[in-house]
A and B are shown apart, each in its own frame.
Chain A
């Protein structure tokens, strides 16, 4: 596969959903960043409630990024699984990275067993380890899986080999970032796109290199499966990481491939209420309110950077520095919207962002106090990350909507 020019045709109109519901951690923000860079502006944010309310129907692509697979499965439940299946079989493309790749794999575990879309086994599960090897993992390098555990042997750069005629930038090798994603064993149920080939100087080993090689090398990193009229693409590594442009281009092609002919129209799939738009001085005032609160959050979060603490929320560890990742992602987009003078945005959504942001600053300060007093801040952190996700997805809804509106305006003027 090589980068082609079909994305030059108004890619912003392709309806794409990013999952931000239960279990989604912070890596969906990377999808936001690369879609924005690539010019995809018809982007929507869906949680499990939206999926149950048929929010997938107008979408061409659903992006499921990293996080806690168990929480995703539990949140979506059997009904959510049915919705996903219908979406794919009806012609949608499911693109899952890391936790989003584990989700559709065959499993006998509660909740996960409702998503047996792909019959493939993983190599990074403890039943494939010897007894001494089982004890070589630290807590943050594995996740409980019934009596077993899923383990991770390396982080950051790994070398992939593209197979079955796939290419990236005309090459058969590429470097991709691995942060806990699956390594899959061969199966007739999937078409292999890439396998793990090796490591680089930037690979961070979580175990002895030999065990890392035994677990990864030669096994499957990226694969696809056809289901009805649609396809599932599953990526062990995070191809959406914005620091890996070759991976991003590869994803871009998959996102565009097989699109349902919607390129020809600027089509807004979600409702719009002209009475609820805010602009001019009022908008600038609201932006200022959001910026004030968000800056307070940003500064309070940066004050926690020396703490180096993490909280186990569900089955996943969340580092305190991830707070700043959410905040800076929104900050960056806020700064881009701020100078646009003729902007119109959804008033209710913006008000909601301002209100949530006030709570986030207080949450961060409460966590800081709790940590200073040697207390357990897990429940506070759990609430904080939920609020960060809610605010971020609401703000990005507003951001992409504004971008679509501006392009639509230009196209009408043109």
Chain B
């Protein structure tokens, strides 16, 4: 695969610590396009070894607007189905440039390990220095060890290590869209974390045409419905959960986009520092990045203040547990005090009602779409590597436009029929 690709798939066997490089076959790309199309195919190929597949969309990490998305594809311990969880922030980008478009992690390790994927090299390393640490300490440790703060870390905390059903594979310090208990899979495999960094380059088939098309799309998006909006509170309004901006406002410090995404879907709140502070804070980490609306709403609905909610979200992220599951099970158990809720992380059990029914993570709201329509639009986003929330907010990023970009980028001549077939395959 010559274009928009680093050409390689890493097949990592945790049982033996062996890593095999495999060429990314252009025929596979022609047939499955990329992203969830290919992670699903790889999952099926290695399904006997209970794989976790990491992957990027065809356009991930390019100038295509909102091309931030990578994904984890695996069988959910919660639903028993093969599902996809979004890798947002800069994780998809770093995976794309790490030298591997896809990473298949199969087998189980006897001892805790972590994966260090960098510049076309995948290393299985002893995790003795990070096993037992929370999500934040693990990320700090690995970044310090490798000497670069740009390293993206998919890591579990104590929830994953203890194989909790609600364990998340977090991204750096923050909650991810993992609603499938993939953190438990990491723990079962004794896989503490996957660290990603790469400085490779992508070739583009028609570079000028591709850049021009990206610029035009971006111009159009700047006049779209979300052009002048920012932050997670806007998403709450858009899905009919009401205006939470006043409730959250006293804590808000800034809003943050995922890679190359025109709408900042994340909001950073200060908890240990005045959010109006203009100079650099002296605290190592004064707050928390809210990346998951439903976690926020879940604790709010328990009657907690914004500060209590965000503090709990921070503790969930450090522990590596899904805040949505925690809030739902807390409500069922009648727990409404933050310390009481935090104490329940360890050994949390129960059956969730608000659980994903399809293939794609319910972390992304449906914005009033029917279940089928939402699933189809998510499939498109996960195939091309477009931020799932932004994809739904921006009708301008149509299937036709994305196919056009993919063809300019690769010269492979994808058609809407190809895309329909891949969508059908991954949503069946």
Chain A residues in the interface with B (C-beta under 8 A): 288, 291-292, 295-296, 298-300, 302-304, 364-365, 368
Contact = CB atoms under 8 A, between A and B. Distances in A.
A291 B21 CA distance: 14
B405 to A, nearest CB: 27
Contact of B199 (A288, A299, A304, A364): A299
Q: Is the interface of A mostly helix, strand, loop or mixed?
A: helix
Contacts of A299: 118-119, 146-148, 151, 197, 199
Contacts of B151: 299
A298 B147 contact: no
A288 B99 CA distance: 13
Nearest to A368: B147
Contact of A296 (B118, B120, B149, B150): B118
Contacts of B148: 299-300, 302-303
A292 B123 CA distance: 8
Given A299-B199, A302-B199, A291 B120 contact: yes
B15 interface: no
14 contacts: A291-B119, A292-B121, A292-B123, A295-B120, A296-B146, A298-B119, A298-B199, A299-B119, A299-B151, A299-B197, A300-B146, A300-B148, A303-B146, A365-B145
A35 to B, nearest CB: 24
B118 A295 contact: yes
Assign chain B's interface to a size class.
10 to 19
B121 A291 contact: yes
Contacts of B118: 295-296, 299
B18 to A, nearest CB: 13
Contacts of B120: 291, 295
A302 B123 contact: no
A194 B407 CA distance: 51
Contact of B147 (A291, A292, A365): A365
Contacts of B199: 298-299, 302
Contact of A300 (B121, B123, B147): B147
A264 B197 CA distance: 48
B149 A303 contact: yes
Contacts of A288: 121
B123 A303 contact: no
Interface in B141-189: 145-151
B344 to A, nearest CB: 38
B117 to A, nearest CB: 10
A134 to B, nearest CB: 38
B147 A295 contact: no
Contacts of A300: 146-148
Interface in B114-128: 118-121, 123
Interface in B252-280: none
A321 to B, nearest CB: 14
B150 A295 contact: no
A291 B120 CA distance: 9
Given A299-B199, A302-B199, A364 B147 contact: yes
Interface string B203-239: 0000000000000000000000000000000000000
Q: Which 8 A-B pairs rank lowest in CB-CB distance, beginning with the nearest?
A: A303-B148, A300-B147, A295-B119, A303-B147, A292-B121, A299-B148, A295-B118, A365-B147
Nearest to A301: B147
Nearest to B21: A288
Contacts of A302: 148, 150, 199
A75 B120 CA distance: 40
A397 B119 CA distance: 24
Residue picked from A291, A295, A300, most chain B C-beta under 10 Å = A295
Nearest to B123: A292
